[in-house]
Chains A and B, each alone.
Chain A
Amino acid sequence: MSVLSLQNLSVTLRGRAIFNDISLEVDPGEFVGLIGPNGAGKTTLMRSSLGLIPSTGRSSLAQLSARDRAKAVAWMPQAREIAWPIPVENLVALGAQAAGRGADQTAIEAAMARMGLAQFKGRAASRLSGGEQARALIARALAQDTPLLMADEPIAGLDPAHQISTMEVFASLANEGRSAVVSLHDLGLAARHCTRLVLLADGGIMADGTPDQVLTPDNMARAFGVSVWHQQTDSGPVFQPLEVL
């Protein structure tokens, strides 16, 4: 039973087709990295599959009621909006209270611990640094405790240690049988941590498979116009874009 199922999804915004006829199934236990050049439609694909913008075709999540959708998927938008200086703990609690549930203190504490936020508990979230805010917002999404987590560039702006630890959190979700669909620009981290990559380019899915199958020199040249260096090492795959072709 897949946690996300898209059939022939198409989105046209202001007369411009963003992408056409995208079909995609995400199964439990997958950590899917959504990659592609700027403007390829990664954000639009995620938002339309959630039902936040109109589309044609079918998405299993978009047809749910707001409350049922909140039980099926947690969404972390790219804009890291925190309007008021509420304490980090209360911010994470918003996720635990989603879909009309009562706040589950253990879920809140677990999510904060997972993102290394224990020492920020009482601090005003809007006054944290950008990277700390991002981690608080990921913890909020984790506290929603859904089978699927979708996040739009969650590791942008984090320092290397927190980028790696955050990717490990998503990978551990997948190990527990939950799933994550995450848009990424760091192909090196995508190569090392994701179980599956979906390459979005030219209004459709250009490649879909394991990192090795997707991150080929040919695909990278066609999608991004760059040459790459990709090597299996003792400490896992190392992938580096080299120069613009």
Chain B
Amino acid sequence: MRLFLGLTFAVLALFAASLVTGPAQTGAVESLSALMFGGDGPLPLVMREIRLPRAVLAVLIGGGLGLSGAALQGYLRNPLAEPGLIGVSSAAALGAVIAIHTGLVASGSLGLPFAALGGALIGVFLVLALAGAQGGSLTLILAGIAISALAGALTSLVLNLSPNPFAASEIVFWMMGSLADRSIVHVWLLLPFIAVGVGLIATLARGLDALTLGEDAAQTMGFDLKRLRLTLVIGVAAIVGGTTAVAGAIGFVGLVVPHILRPFVGAQPSRLLWASGLGGAVMLQLADITVRVVMPERDLKLGVVTALVGAPLFLHLIYKTRAGQA
């Protein structure tokens, strides 16, 4: 309980910190009062149109990725699982990359997210078709790897064929993930996907607990594993497709956060879901504040920071695991 209170407090505190961080040098009290009560000048506009969407997106995306990572790790009973595993993020990225390549982006600010959502949708159908209705967790992993590989190859092909270096660099930068220059429209676009994903994954809590003892035991404890897997894939795909469409590919949050928090919830998969949701929101907000405070003029990408922070953390966890086994 203390863990959940602490994480909730951290999410709220970082949310406030995120709102008062940015290139427009203004005081914290001044900024927050402009956000809430409006007023004259550009500040209320900056707060409502730029900073508020950015802070909300960081919470939604980080929370969604943390939650889906915990759900996938629980289902596969593998601490190395992460939301990208089912191939949907690669498929979404491919959709976005095609949008950039074909100039669909110019047709309006939402051309890119819709193309990415289209890619995610095709990806999830392919994964479900490949994995089959009867298969267990192994076929799901294999199908996800196949889709990821195919989408990755096609993304490389698009890069290879890009008409000029500017298009290529735009694609590469987009793929690094960012929350810069997002508007409230992006929030409205993402919100239903997060709501559906969270709603679906929430129904899996007890089934994931039972899966601790393996698929046979979970089935005979009253859980329909086919339905559980379908719910999981659609829930994770909604979250990952939505977040990739809005912010690009952001790695390591769904991998590292459940891993760090697992010991604090007695390793219970159901409790880890919510802890990881809050923890993911904390991690992504920290990263998004970092990119604005460190090197604000260079437009450091969010996905770069999460990877830079996540990889060493992960190495530390490997080291601890090895020490525990020795």
Taking beta carbons and an 8 Å cutoff, which residues of A are in contact with B?
A: 47, 50, 52, 66-67, 69-71, 73-77, 79, 81-87, 90-91, 94-95, 97-100, 124, 137, 140, 144
Q: Which residues of A contact B217 (CB under 8 A)?
A: 75-77, 81, 140
Q: Are A84 and B212 in contact (CB under 8 A)?
A: yes
Q: Are B211 and A73 in contact (CB under 8 A)?
A: no
Q: Which residues of A contact B262 (CB under 8 A)?
A: 84
Name B267's contact: one of A66, A79, A86, A98 (CB within 8 Å): A86
Q: Which of A66, A90, A97 has the most CB of B within 10 A?
A: A66
Query: What are 11 A-B contacts defined by CB distance under 8 Å?
Result: A50-B220, A52-B220, A69-B220, A69-B222, A70-B220, A75-B216, A81-B77, A81-B212, A83-B214, A98-B221, A100-B206
**With A84-B267, A86-B268: A98-B222 Cβ-Cβ less than 8 Å:** yes
Q: Which residues of A contact B206 (CB under 8 A)?
A: 97, 100
Taking beta carbons and an 8 Å cutoff, which residues of B are in contact with A?
A: 77, 206, 209-214, 216-217, 219-224, 262, 266-269
Q: Are A47 and B212 in contact (CB under 8 A)?
A: no
Q: Are A70 and B221 in contact (CB under 8 A)?
A: yes
**With A83-B77, A84-B267, A90-B266: A140-B222 Cβ-Cβ less than 8 Å:** no
Give Cα distance in the complex from A152 to B281, angstroms. Answer: 44
Q: Are A94 and B213 in contact (CB under 8 A)?
A: yes
Q: Are B216 and A77 in contact (CB under 8 A)?
A: yes
Q: Are A83 and B211 in contact (CB under 8 A)?
A: yes
Q: How many A-B residue pairs have CB under 8 A?
A: 77
Q: Which residues of B contact A99 (CB under 8 A)?
A: 221-222
Q: Which residues of B contact A98 (CB under 8 A)?
A: 210, 220-222
**With A86-B268, A87-B266: A81-B213 Cβ-Cβ less than 8 Å:** yes
Name B221's contact: one of A81, A85, A94, A124 (CB within 8 Å): A94
**With A90-B268, A124-B267: A82-B222 Cβ-Cβ less than 8 Å:** no
- A65 → chain B closest CB, angstroms: 8
**With A66-B222, A99-B221, A100-B222: A77-B214 Cβ-Cβ less than 8 Å:** yes
Give Cα distance in the complex from A239 to B191, angstroms. Answer: 69
| Chain A, residue nearest B212 (CB) | A83
Give Cα distance in the complex from A170 to B221, angstroms. Answer: 20
Q: Which residues of A contact B222 (CB under 8 A)?
A: 66-67, 69-71, 98-100
Q: Which of A71, A76, A98, A137 has the most CB of B within 10 A?
A: A98
- A147 → chain B closest CB, angstroms: 14
Q: Which residues of A contact B209 (CB under 8 A)?
A: 94, 97
Name A66's contact: one of B77, B214, B224, B266 (CB within 8 Å): B224
Q: Which residues of A contact B212 (CB under 8 A)?
A: 81-84, 86, 91, 94
Q: A52-B216, A100-B222 are in contact. List 14 more A-B contacts (CB 8 A).
A: A66-B219, A70-B222, A74-B220, A81-B212, A82-B213, A84-B267, A90-B266, A94-B212, A95-B221, A98-B220, A98-B222, A99-B221, A137-B213, A144-B221
Give Cα distance in the complex from A168 to B258, angstroms. Answer: 41
**10 tightest CB-CB pairs across the interface, nearest first?**
A70-B222, A81-B214, A83-B77, A98-B221, A84-B267, A75-B220, A99-B222, A77-B216, A67-B222, A85-B267
**With A85-B267, A90-B266: A66-B213 Cβ-Cβ less than 8 Å:** no
| Chain B, residue nearest A83 (CB) | B77
Q: Which residues of B contact A82 (CB under 8 A)?
A: 212-213
Give Cα distance in the complex from A50 to B220, angstroms. Answer: 8
Q: Which residues of A contact B213 (CB under 8 A)?
A: 81-83, 91, 94, 137, 140
Q: Which of B219, B224, B262 has the most CB of A within 10 A?
A: B219
Give Cα distance in the complex from A82 to B213, angstroms. Answer: 5
Q: Which residues of B contact A87 (CB under 8 A)?
A: 266
| Chain B, residue nearest A73 (CB) | B220
| Chain A, residue nearest B267 (CB) | A84
Q: Which residues of A contact B268 (CB under 8 A)?
A: 84, 86, 90
Q: Which residues of B contact A95 (CB under 8 A)?
A: 221
Give Cα distance in the complex from A144 to B220, angstroms. Answer: 10
Q: Which residues of B contact A91 (CB under 8 A)?
A: 212-213
Give Cα distance in the complex from A90 to B221, angstroms. Answer: 15
Give Cα distance in the complex from A82 to B209, angstroms. Answer: 11
| Chain B, residue nearest A50 (CB) | B220
- B221 → chain A closest CB, angstroms: 4
